[in-house]
Homo-oligomer: A and B are copies of this chain.
Amino acid sequence: MSVGRETRLSAWIERFAAHFAEEGIPLIGGRILGYLLVCQPVERTAAELSQELEASSGSISTNLKYLVNVGLVTKRTRRGRQAAEYRINEKAWTDFIQRKFDAIASVQTLTDDGMRLLSGDPERSMRLRTVDKLYGWLSEELPALWERRPAAPK
């Protein structure tokens, strides 16, 4: 007997969360992301997420705040509804990746400063130069690559 689609989806959500946990996103935050990517209907309240993901209301609140803050999740309040509704903001995923690229490219300022401190000592700055060159190249190419990214569909 085969397992149902929903069961497999929740296993998928767990894998999804595990991946982002390695990148420093709290497990529950990752679960929220994965869940909001595939749930039907697309909008959920904090209470529903708490029940569905078996996490405390506090954890859900903290993580939603974080996710809304970085833009990956959107909060919507409606008149006549006490509960706010949350949904994935899949278009913000590009910003999420861009921040990663920026983090990589930002090392270049660091290596650059180091090179300045060692100026006039070519012998000693050889090692740093190799690293600086690499990051210099990256901080040229990554933004250029990013320009060519495909437009998100409406």
Interface of A is mostly: helix
A38, CB-defined interface residue at 8 Å: yes
Chain A, 129-151, CB within 8 A of any chain B CB: 130-131, 133-134, 137-138, 141, 145, 148-150
- Closest B residue to A93 using CB positions: B131
Q: Is A5 located at the chain interface by the 8 A CB criterion?
A: yes
Chain A interface residues toward B at CB < 8 A: 5, 8-9, 12, 15-16, 19, 22-24, 36-38, 40, 42, 88, 90-91, 93-94, 97, 100, 103-104, 106-107, 110, 113-114, 117-118, 124-125, 127-128, 130-131, 133-134, 137-138, 141, 145, 148-150, 152-153
Task: Add 17 more A-B contacts to A38-B117, A137-B149 (CB < 8 A).
Answer: A9-B117, A12-B113, A15-B113, A19-B107, A19-B110, A22-B103, A23-B103, A36-B127, A37-B128, A38-B125, A40-B124, A90-B128, A90-B130, A90-B131, A94-B134, A134-B149, A134-B152
